[in-house]
């Protein structure tokens, strides 16, 4: 499967791209919808599908099918999985066809076939085909093997069992998966895998719900809820497939997992919409539900799971150069030959063989013939084995990367996966890393940190401390070996552990027993238990003040309810607090499970109670419309009991209630329906839905089971959340005793200490989507019976949707104040790097609700553009909100992220963070992970129009250029308006004193402007100057656009890393896409070339493996070109002595098999195993990575030197035998065989010079090669006396071995050929060693010459050189140096990067610093000892700066920026404490700041003063 080159360029939405051949073929013929009917029903009469199938053509497009047995319209895929490409018969042609898709193969075959033309043939025709056939055979065998393994796994899957309803036996019978057909009814039990895409028709769950786990599909471990098709959930009895007569019309198979649309038409003509909640996808697992029944909609290859699976990607390139080179030679030879032929034509030489007809060839014809022969002779040598070798080497590299134990993640039990097999060397040339933030840099494990309610901030200090402790406990447990530090340090560890013990709670004991969080996480991953439920996330220490308030309102409300008072007397603040927590608890899609019975929801049935309850409930409801439904349904049924219970102030005994639980559930649905109906607008909407009670048919499965255990008594409930934020908030609310205890489709139950259980009828859930950036629930409040909308969303969105408050009345003013306060706190949270969410509510009047409901129901039942209508409907609902508060959730950095970033940056990689988060959050995370340094200047680009953006860019550029020293000649048209901005690639090297690096922060809107055609060059130019770039609020499309821009304009290798679906496009566009197999599912991984478990593994992947792969492959390709040039050179020189007749002195066998057999193995071994620098040294000196970025091993100069050397060597290897055998009686092949031997020896010795590490494998391979050649020569030369024309080398080798001359030439020629290379290598190694050589020397010197014992990768490197402590200079300064042709050899020995590094490094570094300190993950905030300060000293300038770790920064350096103040428009400010120097260059943000400033209640704090000041000054400027 060749990788479509366009695919990389055009990240088309996945559903647009037809996947696989099947899809493509089908697409043309099929209509847009498909129709499914039951297989059990007889075929519909002709009239039934008259409307659709009037004409034959139409009929063909529409797929009716029925009756599997009759073989009727079985055009649809059955459920047989067949991923094999070939059958026994089709293998050969099909495989050949596929192989010939590779142009090179066609070329080789053509050349080989050219041999069959007698006029031009060079070899025996059969022989010439041998290498090509060999290659084809090897590839075919590989394909065959793969296909066979696929076949086996297919068979396995096809023979899985499943219950399918049989028409004959009138019951479910066991069938194989492959026998399932579309239209079949399948019955799935709990924990079974879904065999096909099934429309859910019945569930044992009385609510018609079913939970599935999609981990197999997208890796998300949380449960997804699926819902029985409307109209079936209300069936009284068990669903009977025989009675199913409805017709399902749905879209044709596509690969969009998140979309499914269709409608079901019942026999009575009623229609109901189908959406993705009704569809069970193949490959998922049924959880929490005893049994479900569904009808198969898509089977086999048409299932979404299979349409989504795609093979690894392939990229190809290279080699054209060599081919062109050879062709050039052929052209030269053609000319020469023509000349020669003309010269000798008339002379009738004895040796000039005339044509068969006796005439002579015309010079032109002869020249053409000769040319073709020459091509054969010269080309057969070259590329066939190169392709194979490169492929083998890459596969081996992939194998070794996969096998690297240092890339294995203990916690998730996953190792790195290489999904793309042939771009390993790209890993070594990356210049730009584009990283997602959430889940990539951070853990995507949200931890509730603090919140603000009603303008009051609750700092949750204790919670913060707890988190800090976790962090330290982590780093302790991950470094089990005491680091020989001081005793006090160890003591502190001990104390932390004890504290940790204290803080363990019941809920996490099982995890904590295992010791570290790491293990706990691994345990939870392994057991596939609840996602997002590590103790760190679940144990939240409540803020005492807030806790007090919560319990107070709880108490008040309880009392009020008890006394039948309306709860209006609560103070606004308390009511806000209460609503806030209610919102936290219910405004989500979290599913509750009990831990002791994971994924097995508790359910009791009371069938016998069903009908009386219904009537009774209806009666009661009518009697007391404002009745409280809280505190257990018992209240509604048995008033006496209820009153007694609600009166009690302790926790209700839930076990007693549990018996009524199911009952209560049943009650609410009709209740809801009734409520809706009573409101006047609802009949229409619900009409399509039969108002039968929900399907609670006696379920055989359920009946068999023993009465389920009582529901959990303790608060230890597990929450299954779709996103970690949700889980964090629910756990937080639980910490405030406001626990979500149950969520069903139509209601949620909240447990409060005093109020008891409150059940909120859930009217609607408007799910989260990324455009709205919010979600809402509509509930009927059980206490007030009001219809309330709780909205939770990004602050930017929610703040705009608030009810405009009038400044007139006191209440309005108060509201305004609260808002400004909240906004303030939100900013504060953002500064701390917390993710912020605003919580708001809205109370709907009945009329409002009714009107909205009508339109919403219309939207819901719409078949066309349902999504759009729904989102419009949601927007109508979510307005005029009342702000309750905001939360700050911390997304913790992953382990080792700052260190990794520091290393990567040292390695010369420019890291861009592209995130959807808000600017402040992103900036702070960037600070936390050391992406931004304290003393860095930050350019912030926030523009709200194209012109503003252009102006800002110009100003920034002017500023950036002003920073560059005046000495540097620079002719940049500063205001290159309209014109091209050309000095994109070249910048004057910055040789001046070190200055703080620049960073660029840009928001999504400005980014959109900056990515416009007219500005992109400027933007890119500016971004290049900056050491790091942060794009906030960027959409997935923007992410990919940025990557594409950098890739195409800067011609640099890019790597994109991300973990979520929003990163997919970016990952696909980048040269190398890395997916993090984290919590957000597998989409990123599926799209990626490499999948790593954590961000920190990127370091080793790039710096060690990337370097190795690149250097190995570069060296191997160089060697290959050398080898072929040299070998072809031998033939070429011979042409001068054979009349340019394309004759070869080397026997055809040797020619053909030389590359393939004799000289391939050693180079493969070297290409796979050679390590130019040991891993430890590479890790210790990340700047070595730059050699790959600058392509030092394979730049044109190296290439041409290599070629020159090859030419020289071929000259030597040709002319030494030539002169030695000049005027002798040696025949062609007696003379050619020594040359072959010489060439082989030269190659081996050359490889010996190039090989850096000699393992026994290298020795063996070299020995084997030489031995093989001589053995083959001996056998070949004695095998047949008359075969192998024209060479017929009978007994040649044997004669040669008796000839001293043979040995003498074989000795001198290789050595003479290699002397210069060896000499220059030695000279260069001594005089101008490259960084790599130096590192190698150091590594060798420091390590004794004995095999190193297996050890911890992060263990101390004995005497390892400490990293080059020079500051990795700003990219703007280093990039030009790396892009001009500064050869590594030209570096003066003393100053390795004098041209690049602004400051000659004079920091002497303690060589004994163990590597662990350098690369160990130090949690920010830990006291850093003197040795731990080493990484900090990267800042490079000699002024000894106190090592500052963490985010606490001083403001002192803010105003002391060099060159400050020259441009009047620019000002320095510290936006907030700890940000360091920030260049704020925005208009819109100024307005924003002003607005913020006026929100401030009192005299603004100093930082805001700065803001104002800036605003003033900036306003002056504009």
Partner 1 sequence: MAMSYNSKDEVDGGPPCAPGGAAKNRRPDNTAFKQQRLPAWQPILTAGTVLPTFFIIGLIFIPIGIGIFVTSNNIREIEIDYTGIDPSSPCNKCLSRNVTPCICTINFTLEQSFEGNVFMYYGLSNFYQNHRRYVKSRDDSQLNGDPTALLNPSKECEPYRRNEDKPIAPCGAIANSMFNDTLELFLVVNGSFSTAIPLKKKGIAWWTDKNVKFRNPPGEGPLQERFKDTTKPVNWVKPVYLLDSDQDNNGFINEDFIVWMRTAALPTFRKLYRIIERKSDLHPTLPAGDYFLNIKYNYPVHSFDGRKRMILSTISWMGGKNPFLGIAYITTGSISFLLGVVLLVINHKYRNSSNTADITI
Dihedral angle over CA of 704, 709, 711, 712, nearest 10? -140
- Does residue 495 belong to the site contacting partner 1 (CB under 8 A)? no
Among residues 111, 295, 671, 1228, the one that binds partner 1 under rule CB under 8 A: 1228
CA nearest to 682, candidates 807, 801, 892, 858: 858
Among residues 352, 391, 716, 1437, the one that binds partner 1 under rule CB under 8 A: 352
Both tokens of residue 781?
A: 């409040």
Among residues 6, 169, 351, 650, the one that binds partner 1 under rule CB under 8 A: 351
- Does residue 1361 belong to the site contacting partner 1 (CB under 8 A)? yes
Beta pairing partners, 36: 248
Among residues 4, 50, 156, 596, the one that binds partner 1 under rule CB under 8 A: 156
Among residues 319, 327, 395, 523, the one that binds partner 1 under rule CB under 8 A: 523
Both tokens of residue 1053?
A: 């290798």
Residue 122 vs 602, nearer CB to partner 1: 122
State the nearest-atom distance from the C-beta of 15 to partner 1, in Å: 17
The conformation of residue 192, written as its DSSP 8-state character, comes to: P
Gap between the Cα atoms of 791 and 879, Å rounded: 10
Residue 950 vs 1104, nearer CB to partner 1: 1104
Among residues 545, 713, 1341, 1491, the one that binds partner 1 under rule CB under 8 A: 1341
Count the alpha carbons within 13 Å of 557 in the hemisphere toward its beta carbon.
27
- Does residue 480 belong to the site contacting partner 1 (CB under 8 A)? no
C-alpha to C-alpha distances, 83 to 27, 151, 300, nearest whole angstrom: 19, 7, 10
Residue 28 vs 1345, nearer CB to partner 1: 1345
Residue 105 vs 285, nearer CB to partner 1: 285
State the nearest-atom distance from the C-beta of 520 to partner 1, in Å: 9
Question: What one-character-per-residue DSSP string does 832-885 give?
Answer: TTEEEEEEEEEEEPHHHHHHHHHHHHHHHH-STTHHHHHHHHHHHHS-SBEEEE
8 A C-beta contact, residue 1415 and residue 1401: no
- 982-1017: buried (b, 16+ CB within 10 Å) or exposed (e) per residue? ebeeebbbbbeebbbbbbbbbbbbbbbbbbeeebbb
8 A C-beta contact, residue 75 and residue 252: no
- Does residue 597 belong to the site contacting partner 1 (CB under 8 A)? no
Please identify, among the stretches 302-310, 882-890, 898-906, 1023-1031, the one whose residues bind partner 1 according to the rule CB under 8 A: 302-310
Please list every residue from 871 through 910 that binds partner 1, using CB under 8 A.
none
Residue 217 vs 932, nearer CB to partner 1: 217
Among residues 542, 1060, 1392, 1476, the one that binds partner 1 under rule CB under 8 A: 1392
| Count of beta carbons in the 10 Å neighbourhood of residue 862 | 16
- Does residue 440 belong to the site contacting partner 1 (CB under 8 A)? no
Residue 596 vs 858, nearer CB to partner 1: 596
Gap between the Cα atoms of 1351 and 1368, Å rounded: 30
Beta pairing partners, 1244: none
- Does residue 1399 belong to the site contacting partner 1 (CB under 8 A)? no
Q: Cα 334 to chain center, whole Å?
A: 53
10 Å CB burial of residue 652 (0-12, 13-18, 19+) is middle
| Count of beta carbons in the 10 Å neighbourhood of residue 167 | 16
Among residues 32, 89, 268, 347, the one that binds partner 1 under rule CB under 8 A: 347
Among residues 1338, 1409, 1507, 1510, the one that binds partner 1 under rule CB under 8 A: 1338
Please list every residue from 1245 through 1274 that binds partner 1, using CB under 8 A.
1249, 1252-1257
Residue 278 vs 373, nearer CB to partner 1: 373
Q: Directed axis angle between helix 1107-1135 and helix 320-345, to 10°?
A: 0
CA nearest to 251, candidates 298, 287, 219: 298
8 A C-beta contact, residue 107 and residue 327: no
Please identify, among the stretches 410-418, 610-618, 718-726, 1032-1040, the one whose residues bind partner 1 according to the rule CB under 8 A: 410-418
Count the alpha carbons within 13 Å of 1399 in the hemisphere toward its beta carbon.
20
Please identify, among the stretches 398-406, 464-472, 819-827, 896-904, the one whose residues bind partner 1 according to the rule CB under 8 A: 398-406
Please identify, among the stretches 718-726, 1017-1025, 1309-1317, 1450-1458, the one whose residues bind partner 1 according to the rule CB under 8 A: 1309-1317
Size of the site for partner 1 (CB under 8 A): 139
Please identify, among the stretches 37-45, 879-887, 1320-1328, 1481-1489, the one whose residues bind partner 1 according to the rule CB under 8 A: 1320-1328
State the nearest-atom distance from the C-beta of 1177 to partner 1, in Å: 11
State the nearest-atom distance from the C-beta of 1294 to partner 1, in Å: 8
| Count of beta carbons in the 10 Å neighbourhood of residue 1161 | 18
- Does residue 1432 belong to the site contacting partner 1 (CB under 8 A)? no
CA nearest to 449, candidates 457, 438, 460: 460
State the nearest-atom distance from the C-beta of 193 to partner 1, in Å: 5
* Phi, psi (rounded to 5 degrees) for 756: 80, -145
- Does residue 1334 belong to the site contacting partner 1 (CB under 8 A)? yes
Please identify, among the stretches 409-417, 824-832, 962-970, 1462-1470, the one whose residues bind partner 1 according to the rule CB under 8 A: 409-417
Residue 840 vs 1228, nearer CB to partner 1: 1228
Residue 453 vs 1338, nearer CB to partner 1: 1338
Please list every residue from 215 through 254 that binds partner 1, using CB under 8 A.
216-217
State the nearest-atom distance from the C-beta of 1512 to partner 1, in Å: 50
Please list every residue from 1276 through 1295 that binds partner 1, using CB under 8 A.
1281-1283, 1285-1286, 1288, 1290-1291, 1294-1295
- Does residue 405 belong to the site contacting partner 1 (CB under 8 A)? yes
State the nearest-atom distance from the C-beta of 470 to partner 1, in Å: 19
- Does residue 956 belong to the site contacting partner 1 (CB under 8 A)? no
| Count of beta carbons in the 10 Å neighbourhood of residue 673 | 16
- Does residue 360 belong to the site contacting partner 1 (CB under 8 A)? no
The residues carrying an active-site annotation are 436
Residue 410 vs 867, nearer CB to partner 1: 410
8 A C-beta contact, residue 761 and residue 744: no
Give first-to-last CA distance, the chain, whole Å: 57
8 A C-beta contact, residue 469 and residue 492: no
Count the alpha carbons within 13 Å of 1345 in the hemisphere toward its beta carbon.
4
State the nearest-atom distance from the C-beta of 306 to partner 1, in Å: 7
8 A C-beta contact, residue 1034 and residue 1063: no
Please identify, among the stretches 232-240, 300-308, 708-716, 1118-1126, the one whose residues bind partner 1 according to the rule CB under 8 A: 300-308
3-state secondary structure of 1073: strand
Gap between the Cα atoms of 799 and 879, Å rounded: 10
Among residues 1230, 1265, 1445, 1480, the one that binds partner 1 under rule CB under 8 A: 1230
- Does residue 577 belong to the site contacting partner 1 (CB under 8 A)? no
- Does residue 761 belong to the site contacting partner 1 (CB under 8 A)? no
The 3-class secondary structure across 720-736, one letter per residue, is ECCCHHHHHHHHHHHHC
Gyration radius of the chain over CA positions: 38
Residue 69 vs 1285, nearer CB to partner 1: 1285
Residue 56 vs 1298, nearer CB to partner 1: 1298
8 A C-beta contact, residue 216 and residue 285: yes
**Is the bond leading into 1385 cis (omega within 30 degrees of zero)?**
no
Among residues 98, 240, 391, 519, the one that binds partner 1 under rule CB under 8 A: 519
Residue 982 vs 1291, nearer CB to partner 1: 1291
- Does residue 651 belong to the site contacting partner 1 (CB under 8 A)? no
CA nearest to 768, candidates 871, 854, 884: 871
Among residues 1401, 1419, 1451, 1493, the one that binds partner 1 under rule CB under 8 A: 1401
- Does residue 1139 belong to the site contacting partner 1 (CB under 8 A)? yes
């Amino acid at each position: 499967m060749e990788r479509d080159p366009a695919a990389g360029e055009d990240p088309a939405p996945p559903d647009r791209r037809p996947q696989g051949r099947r899809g493509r073929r089908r697409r043309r013929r099929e209509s847009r919808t498909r129709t499914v009917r039951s297989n059990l029903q007889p075929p519909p009469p002709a009239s039934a599908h008259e409307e659709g199938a009037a004409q034959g053509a139409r009929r063909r497009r529409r797929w009716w099918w029925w009756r599997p047995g009759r073989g009727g319209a079985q055009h649809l895929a059955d459920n047989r999985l067949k991923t094999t490409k070939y059958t026994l018969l089709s293998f050969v042609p099909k495989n050949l066809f596929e192989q010939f898709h590779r142009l090179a193969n066609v070329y080789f075959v053509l050349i080989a076939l050219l041999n069959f033309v007698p006029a031009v043939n060079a070899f025996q025709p059969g022989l010439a085909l041998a290498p090509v056939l060999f290659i084809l055979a090897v590839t075919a065998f590989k394909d065959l093997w793969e296909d066979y393994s696929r076949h086996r796994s297919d068979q396995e899957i096809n023979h899985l069992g499943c219950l399918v309803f049989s028409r004959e036996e009138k019951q479910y019978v066991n069938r194989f998966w492959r026998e399932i057909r579309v239209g079949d009814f399948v019955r799935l039990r709990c924990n079974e895998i879904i065999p096909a895409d099934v429309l859910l028709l019945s569930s044992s769950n009385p609510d018609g719900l079913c939970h599935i786990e999609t981990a197999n599909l997208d890796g998300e471990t949380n449960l997804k809820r699926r819902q029985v098709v409307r109209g079936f959930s209300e069936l009284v009895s068990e669903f009977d497939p025989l009675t199913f007569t409805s017709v399902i019309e749905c879209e044709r198979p596509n690969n969009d997992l998140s979309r499914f649309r269709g409608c079901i038409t019942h026999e009575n003509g009623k229609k109901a919409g189908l959406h993705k909640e009704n569809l069970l996808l193949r490959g998922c697992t049924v959880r929490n539900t005893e049994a479900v029944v569904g009808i198969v909609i898509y089977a086999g290859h048409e299932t979404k799971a299979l349409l989504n699976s795609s093979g690894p990607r392939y990229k190809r390139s290279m080699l054209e150069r060599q081919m062109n080179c050879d062709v050039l030679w052929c052209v030269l030879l053609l000319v020469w030959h023509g000349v020669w032929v003309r010269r000798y034509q008339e002379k009738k030489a004895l040796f000039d063989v005339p044509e068969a007809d006796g005439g002579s060839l015309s010079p032109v014809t002869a020249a053409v013939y000769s040319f073709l022969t020459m091509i054969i002779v010269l080309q057969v040598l070259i590329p066939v084995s190169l392709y194979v070798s490169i492929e083998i080497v890459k596969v081996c590299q992939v194998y070794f990367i996969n096998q690297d134990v240092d890339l294995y993640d203990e916690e998730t039990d996953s190792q790195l996966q290489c999904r793309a097999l042939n771009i390993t060397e790209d890993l070594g040339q990356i210049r730009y890393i584009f990283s997602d933030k959430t889940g990539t840099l951070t853990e995507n494990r949200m931890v509730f940190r603090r919140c603000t309610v009603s303008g009051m901030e609750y700092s949750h200090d204790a919670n913060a401390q707890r988190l800090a402790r976790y962090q330290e406990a982590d780093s302790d447990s991950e470094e089990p070996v005491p680091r020989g530090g001081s005793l006090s340090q160890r003591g502190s560890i001990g104390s932390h552990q004890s504290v940790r013990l204290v803080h363990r709670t019941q809920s996490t004991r099982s995890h904590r027993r295992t010791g570290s969080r790491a293990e706990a996480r691994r345990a939870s991953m392994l057991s596939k238990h609840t996602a997002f439920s590590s103790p760190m996330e679940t144990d939240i220490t409540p803020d005492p003040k807030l806790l007090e308030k919560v319990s107070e309102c709880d108490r008040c409300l309880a009392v009020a309810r008890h006394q039948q008072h309306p709860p209006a007397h609560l103070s606004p603040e308390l009511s806000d607090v209460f609503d806030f927590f209610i919102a936290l608890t219910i405004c989500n899609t979290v599913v509750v499970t009990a831990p002791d019975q994971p994924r097995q929801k508790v359910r009791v049935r009371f069938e016998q109670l069903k009908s009386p309850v219904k009537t009774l409930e209806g009666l009661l409801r009518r009697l007391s419309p404002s009745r409280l439904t809280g505190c257990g349904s018992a209240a509604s049924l048995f008033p006496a009991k209820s009153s007694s219970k609600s009166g009690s102030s302790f926790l209700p005994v839930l076990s007693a209630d549990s018996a009524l639980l199911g009952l209560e559930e049943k009650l609410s649905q009709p209740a809801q329906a009734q409520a809706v109906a009573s409101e006047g607008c609802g009949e229409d909407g619900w009409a399509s839905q039969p108002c039968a009670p929900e399907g609670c048919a006696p379920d055989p499965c359920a009946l068999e089971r023993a009465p389920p255990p009582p529901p959990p008594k303790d608060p230890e409930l597990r929450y299954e959340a779709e996103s970690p934020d949700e889980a964090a908030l629910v756990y937080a609310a639980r910490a405030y005793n406001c626990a979500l205890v149950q969520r069903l489709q139509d209601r949620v139950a909240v447990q409060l200490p005093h109020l008891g259980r409150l059940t909120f009828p859930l009217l609607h859930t408007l799910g989260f989507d990324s455009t709205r950036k919010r979600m809402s629930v509509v509930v009927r409040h059980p206490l007030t019976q009001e219809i309330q909308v709780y909205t939770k969303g990004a602050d930017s969105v929610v703040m705009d949707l608030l009810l405009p408050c009038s400044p007139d009345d006191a209440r309005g003013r108060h509201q305004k104040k609260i808002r400004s306060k909240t906004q303030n706190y939100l900013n504060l949270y953002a500064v701390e790097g917390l993710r912020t969410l605003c919580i708001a509510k809205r109370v709907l009047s009945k009329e409002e609700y009714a009107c909205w409901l009508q339109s919403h129901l219309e939207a819901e039942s719409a078949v066309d553009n349902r999504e759009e209508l729904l989102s419009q409907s949601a927007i109508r609902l979510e307005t005029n909100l009342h702000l309750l508060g905001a939360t700050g959730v911390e997304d913790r950095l992953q382990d080792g992220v700052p260190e990794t970033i520091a290393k990567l940056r040292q390695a010369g990689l420019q890291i861009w963070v592209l995130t959807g988060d808000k600017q402040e959050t992103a900036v702070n995370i960037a600070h936390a992970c050391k992406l931004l340094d304290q003393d860095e200047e930050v350019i912030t680009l926030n523009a709200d129009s194209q012109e503003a953006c252009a102006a800002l860019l110009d100003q920034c550029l002017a500023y950036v250029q002003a920073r560059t020293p005046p000495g540097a000649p620079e002719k940049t048209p500063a205001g290159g308006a309209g014109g091209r901005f050309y000095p994109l690639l070249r910048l004057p090297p910055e040789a001046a004193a070190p200055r703080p690096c620049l960073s660029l922060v840009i928001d999504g809107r400005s980014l959109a402007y900056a990515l416009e055609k007219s500005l992109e060059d400027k933007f890119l130019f500016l971004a290049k100057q900056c050491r790091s770039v942060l794009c906030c609020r960027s959409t997935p499309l923007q992410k990919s656009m940025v990557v594409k821009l950098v890739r195409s304009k800067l011609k640099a290798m890019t790597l994109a890393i991300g973990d979520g679906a929003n990163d997919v496009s970016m990952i696909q566009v980048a040269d190398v896409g890395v997916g993090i197999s984290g919590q957000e599912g597998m989409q990123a991984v599926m799209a990626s070339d490499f999948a790593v478990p954590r961000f920190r593994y990127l370091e080793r992947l790039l710096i060690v493996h990337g370097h190795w792969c690149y250097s190995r492959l570069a060296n191997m390709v160089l060697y290959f070109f050398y080898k072929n040039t040299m070998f072809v050179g031998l033939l070429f020189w011979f042409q001068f002595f054979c009349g340019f007749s394309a004759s070869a002195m080397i026997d055809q066998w040797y020619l053909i098999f030389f590359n393939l057999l004799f000289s391939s193995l050693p180079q493969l071994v070297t290409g796979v195993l050679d390590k130019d620098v040991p891993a430890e040294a590479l890790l210790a000196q990340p700047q070595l990575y730059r050699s790959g970025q600058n392509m030092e091993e394979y730049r044109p100069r190296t290439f041409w030197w290599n070629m020159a050397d090859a030419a020289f060597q071929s000259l030597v290897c040709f002319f030494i035998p030539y002169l030695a055998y000049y005027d002798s009686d040696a025949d062609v092949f007696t003379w050619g065989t020594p040359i072959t031997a010489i060439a082989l020896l030269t190659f081996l010795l050359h490889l010996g010079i190039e090989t850096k590490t000699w393992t026994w494998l290298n020795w063996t391979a070299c020995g084997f090669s030489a031995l093989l050649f001589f053995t083959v020569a001996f056998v070949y030369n004695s095998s047949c006396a008359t075969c192998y024309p024209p060479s017929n080398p009978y007994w040649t080798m044997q004669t040669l071995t008796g000839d001293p001359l043979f040995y003498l030439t074989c000795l001198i020629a290789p050595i003479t050929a290699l002397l210069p290379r060896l000499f220059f290598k030695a000279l260069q190694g001594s005089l101008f060693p490259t960084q790599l050589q130096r590192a190698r020397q150091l590594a060798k010197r420091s390590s004794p010459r004995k095999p190193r014992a297996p050890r911890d990768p992060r263990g101390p490197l004995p005497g390892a050189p400490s990293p080059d402590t020079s500051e990795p200079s700003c990219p703007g300064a280093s990039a030009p140096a790396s892009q001009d042709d500064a050869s590594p050899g030209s570096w003066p020995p003393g100053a390795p990067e004098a041209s690049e590094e602004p400051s000659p490094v004079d920091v002497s570094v303690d060589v004994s610093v163990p590597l662990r300190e350098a690369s160990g993950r130090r949690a920010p905030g830990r006291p850093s000892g003197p040795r731990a300060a080493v990484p900090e000293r990267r800042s490079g300038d000699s002024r000894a700066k106190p090592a500052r770790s963490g985010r606490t920064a001083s403001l002192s350096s803010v105003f002391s920026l060099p060159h400050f103040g020259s441009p009047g428009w620019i000002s320095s400010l510290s936006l907030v404490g700890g940000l360091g120097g920030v260049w704020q260059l925005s208009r819109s943000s100024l307005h924003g700041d002003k607005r913020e400033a006026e929100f401030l209640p009192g005299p603004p704090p100093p930082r805001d003063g700065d803001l104002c000041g800036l605003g003033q000054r900036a306003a002056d400027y504009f």
